[in-house]
């Protein structure tokens, strides 16, 4: 999605490269120093939910260590987003760079803009969005569909409403390792009916990436990731293993629930909950209404992160190179200057 950023490099504030990109981006530059992490050797992620489960089945249950309320803000062209990851309170959560809950109606949207160095995962909650890019690719995702786009070395695309009324969804940005930042772009798209699903004891899950209840998603994650959409009936509980060493968060779409420890205060819609270390997450729905949330976890890359708006690389020199490549139409952006979306 289009993000508006202030200039990062003051020395080039009046260059033609900057002037071209400043209309698209504003500054959100930060670095993450490498850090060590412990990764579990477990290769299978399973879920269990049972009203009779009296105790948490984890040696080290994950607790909520940070709670962020995502507030509405303007974005793109007439769109509104609730940004949790990527905002001031939570710059990133390695390997996750951004999470937006978006809401947009015609004629608004996210017109032509570039990306380099990461992946975008768009999950439609309601309505339809049409995506076009400078390679000639065009398609529409509708309620329940997923588009997993690897921008790699460069994409210029647009994302616009495809039906009347308000279109709603989630967009998650996942960083790519330095060795993968300049790979060729690729797409993985799943229609709602093709997304792996499972249901047990009042808990239903749509598995966008990873595995739950013994069911695995067909999506390939270049940066190892799990991403799931859970709906819990009143009175149900869930115990979801998460690989040790992976960073994880919950974003609540609807309702309220208790996350992490049984005695904690319930969290409600539009909150992002960062989970601490451990081997699994427990959730209880003690309300009289449905609880719906997404759970995402990913293996940290532990690499420097330098971001200039829509480009995410490992150094300022690489960011400057990306800006030059986009402006001059080279190294993956050869079609940029001759293309505009319909």
Q: Is 113 annotated as a binding residue?
A: yes
Read off the tokens for 199: 């249901």
Q: Is 239 annotated as a binding residue?
A: no
Place of tokens 């997404």: 294
Query: Within 13 Å of residue 177, how many CA atoms lie on the same side as its CB?
Result: 12
Q: What does the DSSP 8-state code read for residue 19?
A: H
Q: Is 159 annotated as a binding residue?
A: yes
Angstrom CA distances, 263 to 250, 257, 259, 272, stand at 18, 11, 9, 19
Q: Is 115 annotated as a binding residue?
A: yes
SS3 of residue 16 by DSSP: helix
Contact 312, 92 (CB under 8 A): no
Beta carbons within 10 angstroms of residue 289's beta carbon: 11
Angstrom CA distances, 177 to 63, 100, 136, 221, stand at 28, 22, 27, 12
Listed residue (104, 105, 79, 75) closest to 87, CA to CA? 75
Does an H or E element contain 320, and which? helix 316-328
Q: What is the CA radius of gyration of the chain?
A: 20
Dihedral, 226, 229, 231, 236 alpha carbons, nearest 10: 10
As annotated, the binding site includes 113, 115, 157, 159
As annotated, the binding site for Fe cation includes 113, 115, 157, 159
């Amino acid at each position: 999605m289009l993000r508006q950023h202030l200039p990062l490099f003051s020395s080039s504030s009046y260059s033609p490269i900057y002037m071209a990109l400043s209309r698209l981006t504003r500054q959100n530059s930060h670095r993450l120093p490498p850090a060590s992490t412990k990764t579990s050797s477990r290769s299978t992620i399973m879920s269990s939910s049972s009203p009779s489960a009296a105790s948490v089945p984890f040696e080290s249950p994950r607790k909520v260590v940070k709670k962020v309320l995502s507030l509405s803000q303007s974005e793109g062209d007439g769109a509104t987003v609730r940004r949790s990851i990527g905002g001031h309170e939570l710059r990133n959560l390695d390997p996750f760079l951004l999470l937006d809950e978006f809401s947009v109606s015609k004629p608004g949207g996210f017109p032509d803009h570039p990306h380099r160095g990461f992946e975008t995962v768009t999950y439609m909650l309601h309505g339809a969005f049409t995506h076009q890019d400078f390679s000639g690719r065009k398609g529409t995702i509708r309620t329940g569909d997923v588009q997993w786009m690897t921008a790699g070395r460069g994409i210029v695309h647009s994302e616009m409403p495809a039906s009347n009324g308000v279109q709603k969804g989630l967009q998650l940005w996942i960083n790519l390792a330095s060795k993968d930042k300049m790979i060729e772009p690729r797409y993985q798209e799943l229609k709602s009916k093709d997304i792996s699903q499972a249901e047990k004891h009042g808990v239903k899950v749509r598995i966008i990436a990873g595995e739950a209840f013994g069911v695995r998603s067909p999506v390939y994650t270049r940066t190892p990731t799990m991403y799931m959409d859970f709906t819990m009936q009143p009175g149900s509980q869930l115990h979801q293993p998460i690989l040790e060493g992976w960073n994880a968060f919950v974003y609540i779409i609807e309702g309220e629930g208790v996350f992490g420890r049984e005695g904690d205060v319930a969290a409600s819609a539009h909150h992002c909950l960062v989970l601490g270390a451990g081997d699994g997450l427990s959730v209880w729905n003690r309300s009289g209404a449905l609880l719906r949330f997404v759970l995402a976890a990913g293996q940290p890359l532990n690499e420097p992160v330098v971001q200039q708006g829509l480009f995410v690389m490992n150094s300022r020199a690489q960011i400057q190179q990306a800006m030059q490549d986009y402006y001059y139409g080279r190294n993956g952006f050869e079609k940029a200057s001759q293309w505009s979306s319909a």
